[in-house]
Amino acid sequence: MLDIAEELDRWVEQGRDFAVATVVAVGGSAPRQPGAALAVDADGTAIGSVSGGCVEGAVYELCRQALEDGQPVRERFGYSDDDAFAVGLTCGGTIDVLVTPVRAGDPVRPVIAAGLRAAAAGEAAALARIVNGPAHLVGRALLVHADGARRGDTPSARRAAAHHGGFGAHPELDRTVAAEAAAMLDGGRTGTVEIGERGARCGAPLTVLVESSVPPPRMIVFGAIDFASALVRVGRFLNYHVTVCDARPVFATAARFPEADEIVVEWPHRYLERTRVDARTVLCVLTHDAKFDVPLLRLALRLPVAYVGAMGSRRTHLDRNARLREVGVTELELARLRSPIGLDLGARTPEETALSIAAEIVAERRGGSGVSLTGAHTPIHHDVTSPPAGRIGSVA
């Protein structure tokens, strides 16, 4: 649901009633992952998607029904071998969808509204919802912020607010859900966890969907060249927060990189020493100049980032590797370097080269092989629960 947070946050501000259908489980070759959502308001306006088109019509009707009766519902959709035109996923997978009404006066609305507001503002927060278990618990929600603060609509939170019981849940439920959500938020992950109605593993089993809202991952492009301009555009398209860094002020300008989120005029390695990076950060070194590359890559290859790439010919790559060894970079660290950067697409123009770099970044982060799907026996959708700890790269 947080993937359409900005629009839903506007709906909340406008006082609209709506129902939101969220993918809570997938099997086989499903087109969308847990957290993908379709929302429908009281006027019938729809935003988002749960399947890329396969079952949108049926889910739309479930949302309309939930708006009328106020009841959450969980439905499974899959491919029908008997009738290829039946409502189902023609890709052969299955998805479980939870439809939750979010109407004025519904107890869950303030919690979901707070989660949408946090996600729309780019704040780190995790929205946890009970998606399977006893009927009186399904749909309950808890919002956990990065600082540990939480807001909830779980039964124990309701009891605390109303000073009476009525939901039959153990008071440890909130604490257990909050701990699980905080752990997933720390890794920027969305997925489900299994717990018990009385907290930990005690009581009736519950399935909780945790959706993490974290700031966009960073792409730092070193080298303010024409290829960088194309890569900035692709990076923004992939929803990265893109920074361009170059020590030459005449090249690192807003006029040359209007789509960059940030432009830094500084020696690359000095900027990398002081800036924030994490396991989702990708570093693209396009300078192909030893005086910039060597101190920068010496540092970059030792950071826990998702990807590092360095542009240059194969001859430049060999020379650069020799220089890196001379300054103490180990063979294990060099093995992380993706060089030449990008996939072999036969790219020549800056735009084509940017596409090859972006394709390699996606493959590294999602566990793809980079080979053509035609004739291959690799899975189309890879199950990667967390970003790779760091593979690194460069383009001829």
Q: How do residues 79-135 score in pLDDT, each as one tens digit? A: 554 443 444 555 557 888 999 999 998 888 999 999 999 999 888 899 998 888 888
pTM of the predicted structure, to 2 decimals: 0.64
Q: What is the mean pLDDT of residues 73-77?
A: 88
What is the model's pLDDT at position 386? 39
Q: What is the pLDDT of residues 194-245, one digit of tens each?
A: 888 777 666 778 889 899 988 888 999 999 998 999 999 999 999 899 999 9
What is the model's pLDDT at position 350? 94
Domain boundaries, the chain: 2-213, 218-393
Say which range, 31-35, 263-267, 381-385, has the weakest mean pLDDT: 381-385
What is the model's pLDDT at position 171? 67
What is the model's pLDDT at position 152? 62
The phi, psi pair for 349, rounded to 5°, reads: -80, 165
Is residue 392 within 8 A of residue 357, CB to CB? The reply is no
Q: Measured between alpha carbons, how far is residue 160 from residues 59, 82, 135, 392 in Å?
A: 35, 51, 21, 50
Across 79-90, b (16+ Cβ under 10 Å) vs e yields beeeeeeeebbe
Is residue 379 over pLDDT 90?
no
Domain with residues 218-393, CATH architecture: 3-Layer(aba) Sandwich (3.40)
Is residue 172 over pLDDT 70?
yes
